[in-house]
Amino acid sequence: MATTTATLTLSSSDLTGDSLALSTTATLTKAGVLTGLDQTTGVARKFYAAEQTDTKLIDKADFTDAKAHKVYIKNISATASESVMIQLNDGVATVELGLLYAGDWCFLPYDGTADIEIDTSAVNMTVEYLVIYEA
């Protein structure tokens, strides 16, 4: 059985009036059971020579609906003004989740019922991504 653990640590000496030190850990499991997620797309990078609009990064057809998939996406750019908009498109509506600026990343649950699309703000941008999923 696969065991994958995700840990997020946030720290700052000047964000609030007191020092901030927050850490949380989760074992990534299949939907409704304690069995670990055991499939992955592997970490991949896509290079976009031209600016992108509504470009499919992750295809819902590749995943089973209503499962406990997890998605990691990172904007590899080192240019502060370059961003990647993350969107969900279920074929009826598109929902914008937010912008990833240079070096930003996100880790989110994914039920496989919508495509994950991106818009890029510039040419020659690279997006890194990974899906950890159950079959």
4-31 tens-digit pLDDT: 999 999 999 988 778 889 999 999 999 9
Domain-located, residue 126: yes
| CB of 132 closer than 8 Å to CB of 29 | no
Domain that holds residue 122: 39-133
pLDDT of residue 18: 82
Over residues 94-126, the pLDDT tens digits come to 999 999 999 999 999 999 999 999 999 999 999
Q: How many CA atoms lie within 13 A of 45 on its CB side?
A: 9
Answer whether 12's CB lies under 8 Å from 18's CB.
no
Residue 70 · residue 93 · CB < 8 Å: no
pLDDT at position 132: 97
Q: Provide the domain count of the chain.
A: 1
For residue 34, name the pLDDT band (cuts at 50, 70, 90): very high
Contacts of 89 (CB under 8 A, 6+ apart): 54, 56, 95, 114, 115, 117
Tell me, what's the pLDDT at 1? 65
Residue 70: strand, helix, or coil: strand
Q: What is the pLDDT of residue 49?
A: 98
Report if residue 97 sits inside a domain. yes
Note the pTM of the prediction, 2 decimals.
0.93
Q: How far apart are the first and last CA of the chain?
A: 14
Tell me the CATH number at 75.
2.60.120.10
**pLDDT at 16 (0 to 100):** 78
What is the average pLDDT across 54-68? 93
* Residue 96 three-state SS: strand
Query: Can you say how many angstroms the Cα of residue 16 is from the centroid of all Cα atoms in its chain?
Result: 27
- The CA R_g of the chain, rounded to the nearest whole Å, is 16
